[in-house]
Amino acid sequence: MRTDVAIIGGGPSGLLLSQLLMREGISTVVLERRPRDHVLSRIRAGVLEWGTVDLLDRAGVGERMHREGLPHDGCYLTSGGRMIHIDFAEACGRRVMVYGQTEITRDLYAAQDAMGATILHGVEDVALHDLTGEAPFITFRHDGTTHRLDCRQIAGCDGFHGASRQAIPVEVRREFEKVYPFGWLGILSETPPACHELIYANHDRGFALASMRNPQLSRYYIQVPLTDRIEDWSDEAFWTELKRRLPAEVAGRMETGPSIEKSIAPLRSFVSEPMQWGQLFLCGDAAHIVPPTGAKGLNLAASDVFYLSRALIARYRSGDGSLLDRYGQDALARVWQAMRFSWSMTMMLHRFPDQAEFDRRMQLIELEGLARSPVARRALAENYTGLPY
């Protein structure tokens, strides 16, 4: 097998990169470990920066998103029952779109199928070879047979546990990590959202988030210890605790119902440098993980795809490799900005096991600053809606 760009990972970043490249006549092959049904069952992010919206439009997959997605012009932060509104339109003239990652992946699969893309599922034993040479290639097993895929570049879109990052020599990689001492217990319920905009709640009992996927599908989270298990939390216990952490006016009107999905996700901040090694280019979770507090995970993957697709298109159109040579530098500049924002939101809104009273007061003062200062609200809005590429 031979292609221009081999893409390891068939999630949204790998599919989006393939879509953008194929529309420019650049051939791709996508290798994915999981079956398609499994990829489409993942319940993940739902808040899109407008730069991500524009990129999906450019890829030709934005029609259903604009028809069914929910544009949001703000969000709420709460403290002690007080609702602090962050008006994105007023603060920075931008907005976000609520549209689930599962739906984005579904749209991308449909577009890729229509273009006749080569996407292999159930791929195992992926190994990357000759990355610093002129002819990189990948070996893998598929349907019980060993295959070789020759290419000109490799995009590693295979997540935190994938093979791509591990192919960069350990003496070259530099990894930065912060593991947070709690997780998010989340449920999906077929109920109307508690509010027309997202609510991020700082409470003495811990963080909570009221979000949504559409007008009849809500997504809620509460902060829990890492020792908790899903079976420790009945639906009734979850709803009771969530209502305790939200302002009374919101909790009083909230509609509850059976959960259709329940999970606990640990939180970490992680960056691996460099994001390129020879002809290997990392995208998304293969290179970085952010806590979900700032809604940056999928959006950072999309910005990586923006920089990499732009660089590859320039390379194949005109032979100009300058953007490809600095892909990692360009991507990481934005990654670290988003990393700082997600970390700051996490530190401001959660209760930490060893938190001193001083630390708690600092959280409350920061929230008070957001309530009082248009400048503080603008800074939050600019970061939340997405810094420019």
Which residues form the catalytic set?
Answer: 72, 200, 292, 296, 384
Distance from C-alpha of 97 to C-alpha of 154, rounded to nearest angstrom: 31
Question: Tokens in use for 365?
Answer: 């003062």
Distance from C-alpha of 38 to C-alpha of 46, rounded to nearest angstrom: 18
Longest distance between any two alpha carbons in the chain, whole Å: 64
Beta carbons of 72 and 211 less than 8 angstroms apart: no
How far is C-alpha 322 from the chain's CA centre?
27
Question: Tokens in use for 24?
Answer: 């420019």
- Three-class SS of the chain: CECCEEEECCCHHHHHHHHHHHCCCCCEEEEECCCHHHHHHCCCCCEEEHHHHHHHHHCCCCHHHHHHCEEECEEEEEECCEEEEEEHHHHHCCCEEECCHHHHHHHHHHHHHHCCCEEEECCEEEEEECCCCCCCEEEEEECCEEEEEECCEEEECCCCCCHHHHCCCCCCCEEEEEEEEEEEEEEEECCCCCCCCCEEEECCCCCEEEEEEECCEEEEEEEECCCCCHHHCCHHHHHHHHHHHCCHHHHHHCCCCCEEEEEEEEEEEEEEECCEECCEEECHHHCEECCHHHCCHHHHHHHHHHHHHHHHHHHHHHCCCHHHHCHHHHHHHHHHHHHHHHHHHHHHHCCCCCCCHHHHHHHHHHHHHHHHCHHHHHHHHHHHHCCCC
Distance from C-alpha of 142 to C-alpha of 306, rounded to nearest angstrom: 30
